[in-house]
């Protein structure tokens, strides 16, 4: 008589999934795979955790550095203290603001050559910052104060060409026109003032440009302003 299958064998066959090989056991295979590769899995998890911790630590350090920079900036009173903050916290928000304020204080102190350098440093280090127009304007004013009128004219004209706000454009053309007058370039000053008027800033900018053009017109009628060079 043929031997009948054991009861547990019959039960195992009854619960077999359709198409599943009798010897296949998914859970056993998974455990076997984990036994073989658990070190690799653990290493992968540790790498992910390390990356997350590194990113978090970097962000925390950046926030702490920014807070420290603002604290130092709030305590900075002298030019040298501002210079130190700008140097120590470069490429950060407090370092950027320290650099711009340094240029302003140097200008107010009559140290115009140093002011030019400070504003140029700001422009080089923070070209995309929203305050770069203020630095470029400050550079133009500093060059004007040094009596370097033609260099100042070029600085103002470059700013006017790049500025996105009509008020900055108009102010730059007005300042450039003033420098042109100081350099004896009356016709070029006229062009600058006309550009200021056409900037569309309105208000005080338009009235200042109109007054300057009227003044140049009076000089022309009285025999002044013979220069016809226009850039």
Q: Against a cut of 0.75, is the pTM above it?
A: no
The parts of the chain modelled with pLDDT lower than 70 are: 1-24, 34, 38-65, 218-231
Distance from CA of residue 160 to its chain's centroid?
A: 19
Q: Work out whether the CA dihedral 125, 127, 131, 136 comes out positive or negative.
A: positive
pLDDT at 43: 66
Q: Tell me if the domain spanning 60-146 has CATH number 1.25.40.
A: yes
- Give the residue among 142, 51, 161 at the shortest CA–CA distance from 104: 142
Locate all alpha helices (DSSP H) within 109-165, ordered by sequence.
Answer: 112-125, 132-145, 149-162
pLDDT at 11: 45
- Give the residue among 225, 216, 218, 176 at the shortest CA–CA distance from 196: 176
pLDDT digits (tens, 9 = 90+) for 29-85: 777 776 777 666 656 655 555 554 445 554 554 566 678 888 998 899 899 999 999
pLDDT at 228: 32
* Tokens encoding 217: 């017109």
- Give the residue among 185, 136, 184, 142 at the shortest CA–CA distance from 157: 136
pLDDT at 165: 92
- Give the residue among 226, 225, 220, 230 at the shortest CA–CA distance from 192: 230
Q: How many helices (H) and strands (E) does the chain have?
A: 10, 0
Segments making up each domain of the chain, as ranges = 60-146, 152-231
Answer yes or no: are the C-beta atoms of 90 and 125 closer than 8 Å. yes
pLDDT at 173: 98
């Amino acid at each position: 008589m043929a031997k009948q299958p054991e009861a547990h064998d019959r039960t195992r066959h009854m619960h077999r999934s359709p198409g599943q090989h009798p010897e296949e056991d998914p859970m056993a295979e998974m455990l076997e795979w984990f036994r073989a590769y658990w070190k690799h899995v653990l290493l992968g998890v540790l790498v992910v955790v390390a990356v997350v911790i590194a990113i978090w630590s970097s962000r925390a350090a950046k926030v702490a550095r920014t807070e420290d920079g603002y604290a130092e900036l709030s305590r900075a009173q002298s030019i040298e203290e501002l210079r130190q903050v700008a140097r120590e916290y470069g490429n950060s928000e407090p370092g950027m603001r320290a650099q711009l304020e340094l240029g302003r204080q140097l200008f107010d102190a009559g140290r115009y050559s140093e002011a030019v350098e400070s504003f140029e440093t700001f422009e080089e280090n923070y070209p995309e910052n929203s305050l770069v127009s203020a630095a470029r304007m400050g550079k133009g004013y500093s060059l004007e104060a040094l009596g370097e009128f033609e260099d100042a004219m070029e600085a103002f004209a470059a700013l006017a060409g790049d500025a996105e706000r009509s008020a900055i454009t108009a102010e730059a053309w007005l300042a450039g026109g003033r420098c042109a007058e100081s350099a004896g370039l009356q016709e070029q000053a006229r062009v600058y003032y006309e550009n200021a008027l056409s900037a569309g800033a309105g208000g005080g900018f338009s009235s200042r440009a109109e007054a300057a053009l009227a003044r140049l017109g009076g000089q022309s009628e009285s025999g002044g302003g013979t220069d016809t060079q226009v850039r």
